[in-house]
Structure 1
Amino acid sequence: MTLQTWELLSYIVTVVALPFAIGVFLFEQRKERANEEEATWQLICDAYIDFLEVVLANPDLKLRSQPATPDLNEEQHERMLLIFDMLISLFERAYLLVYDEHMDAKKRRRWNSWEDYMREWSQREDFRERLPELLRGEDPDFAAYLQRMAQQAEAER
């Protein structure tokens, strides 16, 4: 091969193959990021299902109803508070991992399901009443977000 042939091949690589390789690399990176986001979302959804199993295991607390459960004894009150702590922890994890002010349509759909869960629980009287205590020490942005949601839920009643 002559020097001119080598030069021509290097130009071809520079003009065609290098941009193509960069494009493939960027595509693979984007795909990998999307897969990681999907896996993260699936993990926190699985955690919410596990949480609902705890709710089902405590039917005496009537956690799926909107009004506060009346006449709880001390042990029931303690269990309810612990379950609410678990829920806040789960909501905060979802907020930190999924929520973004500038979400694309796919992320927005994922976040909307979490927002629905938060809104549903915020409609429960005793959950709302305990929010200041439950949110102590949590991420400030998350705490403000959930407080706003609880205020909206209370206003809608």
Structure 2
Amino acid sequence: MITISRDDWELASYIVTALGLPVAIAFFAWEQRKERDNEEEEAYQLLADAYNDFLKVVLRHPDLQLRTAAPLLNPTPEQRERMLVIFDMLISLFERAFLVAHKERMSETERRRWNSWDDFMREWCRREDFRNALPLLLRGEDPEFQSYLQRVAEEEGGALFFPHRFTEGVPHA
């Protein structure tokens, strides 16, 4: 029969402490990072689902021609109202994506996720009617988001209503 002395138990406890504790801390940190990644992926998926739901709204209004490059010529007052509501929904979604997904410093995965939202924003900012509605649509939105989308609109379609910046949602003349 093997007998283990008190000194052997003490040595074993030191080894477990010296090796086990750092391994446990590393495992905990890895699990926390994995959980954060899963939460970020879930948030991205929820935003992607919301954009798909938005596109379903666009599809229910084919007379507005929102998926064409050119704006609708001579829209009726009712069409303008529906278009403005749909654009407002889109701005709300873009702002949510900006607040959730945009960071100054991003990992490769975060950058890839953000780039898809940037592409969506640029696509819509190429539409003259959307750009023309931005001063109204951006009122009251997050200031950093306002600046970001204004810059995108300027890059994609010129400075129609944005000579430089606007104050409290009202364009400068």
Structure 2 Cα separation of the partners of residues 29 and 126 of structure 1: 45
- Quote the residue 2:122 is aligned against: 119
Identity %: 59
Report runs of 4+ in structure 1 exceeding 3 Å deviation. none
Q: TM-score, normalised by structure 2?
A: 0.86
The match for 1:74 among 74, 77, 86 is 77
- Quote the residue 1:138 is aligned against: 141
The match for 1:92 among 92, 95, 106 is 95
Give a deviation string over 1:59-101, Cα, whole Å, max 9, x none: 0001112222122112111110000000000001111111111
Structure 1 Cα separation of the partners of residues 99 and 16 of structure 2: 43
- Quote the residue 1:20 is aligned against: 23
| Higher share of residues assigned helix | 1
Q: CA deviation at 1:2?
A: 4.1
Structure 2 Cα separation of the partners of residues 137 and 2 of structure 1: 73
Q: TM-score, normalised by structure 1?
A: 0.95
Q: CA deviation at 1:139?
A: 0.6
Does the alignment pair 1:10 with 2:9?
A: no
Superposed, 1:42-57 pairs within 5 Å as 42-57=45-60
Of the two structures, which has the highest relative contact order with CA contacts closer than 8 Å and spacing of 6 or more? 1
Letter in 2 for 1:143: Q
- Quote the residue 1:153 is aligned against: 156
Structure 2 Cα separation of the partners of residues 134 and 65 of structure 1: 20
- Quote the residue 1:59 is aligned against: 62
- Structure with larger Rg: 2
Structure 1 Cα separation of the partners of residues 104 and 66 of structure 2: 31
Give a deviation string over 1:26-49, Cα, whole Å, max 9, x none: 110011110111111000000000
Aligned residues: 156
Structure 2 Cα separation of the partners of residues 113 and 93 of structure 1: 14
The match for 2:109 among 81, 106, 109 is 106
Unaligned runs of 5+ in 2: 159-173
Structure 2 Cα separation of the partners of residues 109 and 59 of structure 1: 31
